[in-house]
A = this chain, B = another copy of it.
C-alpha cells in the first residue's frame, strides 16, 4: 500500500496549506488606501492570468490534437492526451493559486509591518508557505493519482513486464509535458511582463521625472507590482511544479530500467516496483519535511536585521535538507533491494548496493546546496565580485557593465565543475538511476524552496504598498529588511531552479536514450554533431528574443508614462490620478504577444529536427533519434551555461546598485545614492533586469521542455510501444525462446535481455551472420589451400 503513501503526504500538505491560507486571509488587510492599491494589483494580476489562460487553452487544444495524432500513428494510448490536459490544468491552477495568495498576503504584510517585524515576516512567509505547499502538493497528488490510474488500467495494479510499465510511464509523460508547457508560457510571459513593467517604470520614473521607486504618481507602478506576482510568483511556481513532476517521472522511468537490468522482475514488499515507487515516496515525504521546515522559520526580536531574517530562513532550509538526507537513507534502504544489477556503459552489468543509491541522493543535496552557495558568492551584497563591480562603476556605465558581464561569465566555472562532478559521481555510484535520484533528493525540499522564494516578491509588494499608501517610514523600513533578504533568496532560488532543471534534464536525457533504444549519442556522426551545434544555439536565440521583448515592451511603457505625465493635469502634484490600468494593459498585451515566438522556438525546433532527420534518413530511425539526442544535449549544455551566466550577472548588477544605498568606498571616498557611480550602477541594473528575471530563468524551462518533448517523441523513433503492440509474440515467450540456444547464444540473450529492443538482437545476429559467412569462406580457403598443398606435394 506504499503506493498510496505519497498521496497521503500530498493531501496532508494540502490540508495544512488550507489551514495556513485561512490564517493568512484572516489577518488585517489594512485601511482604505492600502486595500485599494492591493485590489489594483490583484485585479491586474488576475486579468493577466485570465488572458494568458485563454490563450493557453487554445494552445492546449492544438497540442492535444497533435498528441492524439501521434498516439494514432503509434497505435498507442490516447490517455496521454488526457494526462497532458490535466497536467496543463494542474500547472495553471498551481500558478494561479500562488498568485492569488501572494496578492492577498502583500497588503496584510504591510499591515503587519505596522505592528512589528516578526509579525511581518510571519505573514509574508505564511503566504509563501501556502504557495510552496500548494504547488508541491498538487504536483505529487496529480502525478501519483495518474500513475496509480494507469498502473491499474494497463497492468491491473500488478507487476507484469517492464514493457508494460514503459507504456504506463509513456502515458504519464503526458502529465509532465502538460505541466511543463504551461510553465514555459507562465515563465516567459510572466518574465516579460514583470521586466517590461519594471524597466519601463524605472526608466520613466527615474530618468524622465526623477521620482523615487514605487511613487504613486508613476502610472507604471501598479504594473510593476503586478509583474512581481505574475513573474516571480506564478512563473516560478509553474517552473518548479514542472521540475518536480519531470524529475520524479524521469526517476521512475529509470527505476523501471533497473528492474529490466535485474531480469525484468524483482521480488520486494512493494509489489515489485520499489525502484519506481521510491522517487514518488521521496517527493511525498519531502512535502512533510518542508512543512516542518517552514515551522522553524521565525524571528523574535523587533530590532532584527537582514542577517537575522536570513538566518531564520537558513535554519528552516538547512533543517529540511538534513531531514531529506535522513529520509532518503530510510527510504532507500527500505524500498530498494539491498543489491541491484545495473547496466553500465561499456562495463556491462554491475552489482550496486542500495547504499550507493543513497550516496547519489547525497550528491544531489550537495549540488543544491553548492549551487546556492556559489550563487550567493557571486551575487550577495558585500561579496568580492560585487565590490569589484562597484569599483568599476566609478569610471562609468561601460566599465560597470563589462565587470557585471564578466562576473556572470566567470560564475559558470564553479557551478559547471560542480555539475560535471555530480553527473559523473552520481552515475558512477548508481548509473543514470543515481543521477535521477540525485535530482529527486534535491527537489524534495521544493515546497520549502518555494516558500522562501515567494516570500521575496510578497515583501517587495508590501513595501510598494507602504510607499504608495504613504505609511510611516518605519513600515517601509521593516518591509525593506524583508525585501533585501528576498533579493538574496531570489538569487539562490534561481540557482536552485537551474540546478534542478539541469539534473532533471539529464535524467530525462537518460530516459530518452532508454525509450528510443539507441546505444548512445555519437557526436562523431556529422548529422548528430550538426544538431549539437543547433541545440547550442537555441538558448542563445531564445534569450535574445526574450530580451528584445522586454526592450520593446519597456519602450511602449515609457512612452505611455511620458504621455500621461504630459496629458494628465496635476499628475506630478498628486492631484491628478494616473491611469494605472493603461500601463497594466500594455504589459499584459506585450507579454502575451512576445511569449509566442520563444515558445514556438522551444516546441517547434525539436519537432523540426525530427522532420528534417526523417526526410534525410527515412529508414534509419536510430540515426534520427541520435540527432534529436544531440540537439537535446546542445540545448542542455548551452542552456545551463546561459542560465548561470544571465542569472548571476543580473543578480550581481542588482546588488552592486543596492550597495550604494548604504554607501560604498570607492578609491577611499564614501559614495552614495545619486552619485555618478550610482547612476552607472543603475544602468547596469537595467541591463541585468531582463537577464535575471526574463531570459535567465526561462532557460530552465527551455531545457526541461526540450528533453520532455524528446521523451514524448522517443517512442516514435525507437518504438517500444510500437514494438510491443504490434508484436504477436508474448515477451516472456521471446525470452524463453532465446534461452534455448547454445552457450554462444546464451551470452547474446543476456545481453539482449538487458538491452531491450529487438533491433539490437538483429544487429548482434547480423554480426554473427557475418562471422558465420567469413568462417565458411575461411574454411573454403583452407580446404583449397590444403588441396593445393597436397597437389603440390603429390607433384613433388
Counting CB contacts under 8 A, is A397 at the interface?
A: yes
The answer to whether A522 touches B345, judged by C-beta atoms less than 8 angstroms apart, is yes
Q: Please name all residues of chain B whose beta carbon is closer than 8 Å to the beta carbon of A123 when the two chains form the complex.
A: none
Bound CA–CA A497/B432 (angstroms): 40
Does residue A771 face the partner (Cβ distance < 8 Å to B)?
yes
A413 within 8 A of B: yes
> Which residues of chain B come closer than 8 Å to A773, judged between CB atoms?
744
Given the complex, which residues of B lie within 8 Å of A777, measured CB to CB?
Answer: 741, 778, 782
Q: Is A545 an interface residue (CB 8 A)?
A: yes
Contacting residue for A759 out of B348, B428, B536, B638, CB 8 A: B348
Which of A272-280, A587-595, A701-709, A750-758 touches B?
A750-758
Interface residues of A in 681-728 (CB under 8 A from B): 682-684, 686-687, 690
- Report whether A398 and B345 are in contact in the complex, using a CB–CB cutoff of 8 Å: no
Q: Knowing A536-B416, A777-B778 touch, does A520 contact B409 (C-beta < 8 A)?
A: no
Q: Are A345 and B757 in contact (CB under 8 A)?
A: yes
Most buried by B among A398, A521, A754, A768: A398
Q: Are A683 and B530 in contact (CB under 8 A)?
A: no
CB of A766 within 8 A of CB of B754, answer: no
Chain B residues closer than 8 Å to A521, beta-carbon distance: 522-524
CA distance A351 to B424 in the complex (A): 41
Do A759 and B555 have beta carbons less than 8 Å apart?
A: no
A437 within 8 A of B: no
Distance in Å from the Cβ of A794 to the closest Cβ of chain B? Answer: 12
Give the distance to chain B from A531, nearest Cβ to Cβ, in Å. Answer: 7
Q: Report whether B523 and A523 are in contact in the complex, using a CB–CB cutoff of 8 Å.
A: yes
Nearest B residue to A558 via CB reads B395
Whether A519 contacts B782 in the complex (CB less than 8 A), given A540-B409, A551-B406, A686-B402, comes out as no
Which residues of A in the span 501-552 have a Cβ within 8 Å of any Cβ on B? 506, 509-510, 513, 519-527, 529-534, 536-537, 540-541, 543-545, 547-548, 550-551
Contacts of A347 in B (CB 8 A): 758, 761
Is the pair A690, B343 in contact by a Cβ cutoff of 8 Å?
Answer: no
Cβ–Cβ contact B686 & A423, under 8 A: no
Stretch at the interface among A323-331, A567-575, A783-791: A783-791
Residues in A371-393 with C-beta less than 8 Å from chain B:
392
Decide: A533 and B423 in contact? CB cutoff 8 A. yes
Q: A473 to B256: give the CA distance in the assembly, Å.
A: 79
> Taking the complex as formed, is A72 at the interface, i.e. its CB lies under 8 A from any CB of chain B?
no
Residues from chain B with Cβ under 8 Å of A395 in the complex: 203, 207, 554-555, 558
A: contact size bracket: 35 or more
Write the nearest CB–CB distance from A736 to chain B, whole angstroms.
Answer: 14
* Cβ–Cβ contact A640 & B533, under 8 A: yes
Cβ of A554: which chain B residues have Cβ within 8 Å of it?
Answer: 395, 399
Interface check A88, CB cutoff 8 A: no
- The 0/1 profile, CB within 8 Å of B marked 1, for residues 137-169 of chain A is 000000000000000000000000000000000
A344 at the interface (CB under 8 A from B): yes
Question: Shortest distance in angstroms between A526's beta carbon and chain B's nearest beta carbon?
Answer: 3
Q: Which of A392, A410, A645 gathers most chain B CB within 10 Å?
A: A410
Q: Which residue from chain B places its CB closest to the CB of A637 in the assembled complex?
A: B536
Judged by a CB distance under 8 angstroms, whether A47 is at the interface is no
Known: A686-B402, A756-B519, A771-B771. A629 touches B413 (CB 8 A): no
Q: Are B687 and A543 in contact (CB under 8 A)?
A: no
How far is B534's CA from A246's CA once the two chains are assembled, in angstroms? 25
A641 CB-CB contact with B under 8 Å: yes
Q: From residue A608, how far is it (CB to closest CB) to chain B in Å?
A: 11
**Contact A519-B754, Cβ < 8 Å, known A346-B761, A412-B541, A789-B788:** yes
A residues whose Cβ falls under 8 Å from a Cβ of B: 199, 203, 207, 343-349, 392, 395-399, 401-403, 405-410, 412-413, 416-417, 419-421, 423-424, 427-428, 432, 435, 506, 509-510, 513, 519-527, 529-534, 536-537, 540-541, 543-545, 547-548, 550-551, 554-555, 558, 620, 622-623, 629-630, 633-634, 637-638, 640-641, 645, 682-684, 686-687, 690, 741, 744-745, 747-748, 750-752, 754-764, 766-768, 770-771, 773-775, 777-778, 781-782, 784-785, 788-789, 791-792, 795
